[in-house]
Amino acid sequence: MRVLGLSVGVWLMGLVAWGSPVWAYEEAPVTNGGTVRGKVTLIGGKPRPMAFNLVTIPDPVYCGRISTGTGWRIVEDFIVADDGGLKDAVVMIEGVQKGKPFRLPKVRIEAIDCDFVPFVNVLRDQDEITVVNMDPVEHDIQGYETARVRGARVLFNRPLPMNPFHRVLGLFSNHNHLPGEPMVEKIHLRKGRNIFVMQCGFHPYMFSWGVVVKNPYFSITKEDGVFEIHDVPAGKYTVKVWHPGTKSYLMKDVTVNPGATVTVNFAYRAPQGRRSVHEMVENPHFGLEMLGEDVKIIPSVRLQKP
């Protein structure tokens, strides 16, 4: 006896192991597929930034190449356009079991100017990530699987040494970014989780987020917040969006008709109140004078604005 092409034994094994039948995504030609497009916005104004006092953290002068110019480093997790368009939101279509090829480029993350680039990545479960240090300072790479209910789980914690041949001219004012020895880790998340975060243990304002997807129907929004996903097989699906600043999902059900375009928009409400331990206020006990009279923090790469 067979059930939908699977033997009863195999079907029951999947049911026992997971609580419901498990269907792997299947690649197949898509004829007259539809398009899901829309925009992700943030309403309520730009949130108060997550800020870190550089004086209290290692390598303040070099890492201050990206800073406010007053001794603070801001986590730029909310990049918002003038019309509210939100960058770095991951839009996913759930429920597509068969469709276009599911081949993702390998994830390569650079630690450069004490920043992880890219800030958001998409990958499949069991994929590898490669982290390369482009800085003349050491980093400490900590990876965590995240979840609101059961808390975080450590995936890895490894040092990322600087390249000993990194050439520096002057006091970090000019240098050549030379890649160091890469760190390679395979990402495997527990059932029901699909988000992980990577942070530097030395420089806590360094973040990079990863979203594990189950099919190739996804998009990461650019500065305008717009997304567009093509070649979607006709059917009824759930469209989900996730953003690292909100750490929450928004969901809407859609029906995709053959060859048609469906528009679905999402709006996050900006988080209110304090978002980090420190506040960007002048503190006489932890001011720039702690570095000495001849040491300055100069945002030569980018001047951050609160």
Domain residue ranges of the chain, discontinuous segments joined by +: 31-98+215-306, 103-214
Q: What was the pLDDT predicted at 10?
A: 38
Q: What was the pLDDT predicted at 70?
A: 87
Fold designation for 103-214:
Immunoglobulin-like (2.60.40)
Q: What was the pLDDT predicted at 108?
A: 97
Tokens representing residue 121 in the block: 């990545």
DSSP letter at 9?
H
The pLDDT tens digits of the residues spanning 242-254 come to 999 998 999 999 9
Q: What was the pLDDT predicted at 8?
A: 41
Query: Which residues are CB-neighbours of 234 under 8 A, at least 6 positions away?
Result: 32, 33, 34, 256, 257, 258
* Residue recorded with tokens 């004086």: 55
Residues of the chain below pLDDT 70: 1-23, 148-151, 164-176, 281-293
Kindly state which CATH superfamily the domain 31-98+215-306 is placed in.
Immunoglobulins (2.60.40.10)
Q: Do domains 31-98+215-306 and 103-214 have the same CATH topology?
A: yes
Contact 122, 218 (CB under 8 A): yes
Q: What was the pLDDT predicted at 284?
A: 60
Is the model's pTM score more than 0.95? no
